[in-house]
Amino acid sequence: MRFTLISLIFLVALFSTQTKAQGNACNNANVFSNIINEVCWSCFLPVRLMGVGPKPNGAAPDQSICACNDALGIPEFGYQLGFWQPSRLVEHVRVPWCAPALGGVRLQDDLFSLSTGVDVKSSGGADLATYQYHYYSYPLFAMLEILYLPKCGGEYTDFDLMYLSEIDPTWNNDLLSILLSPEAFIFANPIAKAWCTADCAAITAGDVQESTYGCAGCDGSLYPFTGNVYDGESGPRVTSLLTQRVLASLHRKGLARKTIGEDAMCKPEFWPMIPKSQYKLSMLHPVAEADRNSPNGKCCHPLGESEHKWSTAAGGRTIPGLEDYLYLLWRFNDCCVISSGINAPSE
């Protein structure tokens, strides 16, 4: 943990000097200085203990006792626990290598990357834009040593950069992304569009279904898994959609795993489709959802919920000149808590 913190401090000091010298427009999201007032701590609730309590769709069935095999294959018995925890940060930026979560530094001092962040023209003449994303581990409970169960919900205990879209050749190429998601052809038809319209209505009503794995709710089309969007559209809606694409892409690559459900109680599963009910989002930047203007007192939302509920109803979560968006990712974990230790999703 000390090595990671020292490395981060060194990186911030090094690149902040370069940032000032170059005068670029990479904003500082103040992620660490605003932990108390910009984190939606109520998203931790509800908690399921020994099969008692509310649960999202796809969660493990109600049971008091569970069992996991030890290293020798011998079952060890424990009790069931299901809870939400802050696990990841996803930031979407218009300038490649810009890292608001790291204090507004530039991770590289030029614009070279396999994908770009500049506006382009589509074949139809419409303006397109490509967002880049950075995916961080952000296990707040472990970092603050509160509400933390070792090995229950993840092996990461520090803030760390896990993935960058700038080095991913599929992120700005719709055709190349088909190699990872060939089923995109199946969902590009009127029947699938109607299916996803119903998914939008269900999510807005508070019912997140795992059966609509090919949809992004009210945000738009989940496919292709790229950062290409129409320029000028609502920043909150577009980046909420892109967060779903990020998760779908990482699950397909095996870099994100399923931590919800009976089969994930002892060990996380590789899952090629995004388990939608496993995640909740809370915007941190530029306008945190955990503010006094959050509608109905809620400061996080399920994947695909209409932006009109969590953004427009709060007066919009955009600030001119701040086009970078950060989301805190809450993940549901089904655990089997063993008396001799804790067996549970770790990745």
- The pTM of the full predicted model, rounded to 2 decimals, is 0.86
pLDDT(10) > 80: no
> Which class for 309: exposed (0-12), middle (13-18), buried (19 or more C-beta within 10 A)?
middle
Strands (E), 94-205: 98-99, 105-106, 120-121, 127-130, 132-137, 160-164
Q: Is the pLDDT of residue 15 over 80?
A: no
Mean residue pLDDT of the chain comes to 83
- Residue 10, C-beta contacts closer than 8 angstroms, at least 6 positions apart: none
How do residues 212-239 score in pLDDT, each as one tens digit?
A: 888 999 998 899 899 988 877 889 999 9
pLDDT digits (tens, 9 = 90+) for 156-173: 888 999 999 999 999 988
Tell me which of 100 and 113 has the higher pLDDT.
100
Place of tokens 């590289």: 108
Percent of the chain with pLDDT over 90: 44
165 touches 132 (CB < 8 A): yes
Q: What is the DSSP track for 242-277?
A: HHHHHHHHHHHHTSSEE--SGGGSSSPEE-SS--GG
Which of the pair, 137 or 344, is modelled with greater confidence? 137
Q: What is the rounded (10 degree) CA torsion for 27, 40, 212, 216?
A: -20
What's the whole-number mean pLDDT along residues 106-129? 61
60 within 8 A of 265, measured Cβ to Cβ? yes
Question: pLDDT at position 154, please?
Answer: 66
Distance of CA 185 to the CA centre of its chain: 25
CB 176 within 8 A of CB 182: no
Is the model's pLDDT at 24 over the cut of 60? no
pLDDT confidence bin for 340, thresholds 50/70/90: low
pLDDT at 114: 58
Find the mean pLDDT for residues 67-90: 90
Query: In the structure encoding, which two tokens stand for residue 237, read together?
Result: 């809606």
DSSP state of 278: G
Q: Specify the pLDDT at position 252.
A: 94
What type of residue sits at position 224?
P
Q: Quick one: pLDDT at residue 126?
A: 56
**What pLDDT sits at residue 256?**
94
Rounded to 5 degrees, what are φ and ψ at 225?
-80, 70
Q: How many CB atoms lie within 10 A of CB 230?
A: 12
Residue 278: pLDDT band by 50, 70, 90 thresholds? very high
In this model, does residue 122 exceed pLDDT 70?
A: no
Q: Write the Ramachandran bin of 58: left for phi over 0, alpha for psi from -120 to 50, otherwise beta.
A: left
Cβ neighbourhood burial of 335 (10 Å; 0-12, 13-18, 19+): buried
Four-point Cα dihedral 28, 30, 31, 34, nearest 10? -160
| Position with higher pLDDT, 257 vs 124 | 257
Judged against a pLDDT cut of 80, whether residue 13 lies above it is answered with no
